Amino acid sequence: MNARERIPHDHPLHSPRPTRDPACADAWVDAAPFRSHLRHLCATTGLPWQVVALYAGLSVRHADALLHGRRGRTLRRIPRPTAVRLWEVSPDALAGLRRVACPAEPTARRLAAALLDGARPALVAGALRWSPERLGAVLDGRVAGVTAVEALLARALAEAVDRTRVPHETRAA
């Protein structure tokens, strides 16, 4: 019995369109149920989609394409491993992130790099839902811990700044 026979036909992980390569028959699944699931997770938890994506192990770029499309076109399919990772995330697991403490040092490093790459401190603090004073305290090492949500928000912010930055050698002098 192969994997396709074990997945019920009406389950979101069932891929109705086989590919030409039998070894990759289950490599892609319909994106619509997972786009809906991602939106549902955000709506029920109040967390930004970037946090949900990073928690699920998706890249922010891939989650952005899932939600908003690429070059004006909605994604029709996503890789099965991406779908499985997203499907395994529950609202309860995400709600618990607000109570999970993480060391502040990795977050401070990410934020310092984002600031060095040109992010404005007021925008960084606003994106993290922090006061400028709290941002300064985290950067200075006066805060020992942050919540998992704050750490994931900082990671998403750092990735966004990194995607938009111009390499140093091409910057105008």
What are the pLDDT digits (tens) for 89-133? 999 999 999 999 999 999 999 999 999 998 999 999 999 999 999
Q: What angle do CA 149, 155, 160 make, to 5 degrees?
A: 125
Torsion 82-147-49-113 (CA) sign: negative
Residue 19 near residue 25 (C-beta atoms within 8 A): yes
Q: What token pair was written down for 111?
A: 């934020």
- pLDDT for position 21: 52
Q: Which amino acid is at 78?
A: I
- pLDDT for position 14: 47
Mean pLDDT in residue range 36-50? 97
The 10 Å Cβ neighbour count of residue 1 is 5
- pLDDT for position 26: 66
What are the pLDDT digits (tens) for 163-172? 776 555 444 4
Looking at every residue in the chain, the average pLDDT score rounds to 85
Give the Cα separation of 80 and 29 in Å (integer). Answer: 6
What are the pLDDT digits (tens) for 12-21? 554 444 444 5
* Closest to 30 (Cα-Cα) out of 78, 85, 64: 78
- pLDDT for position 167: 54
Q: What token pair was written down for 104?
A: 């502040």
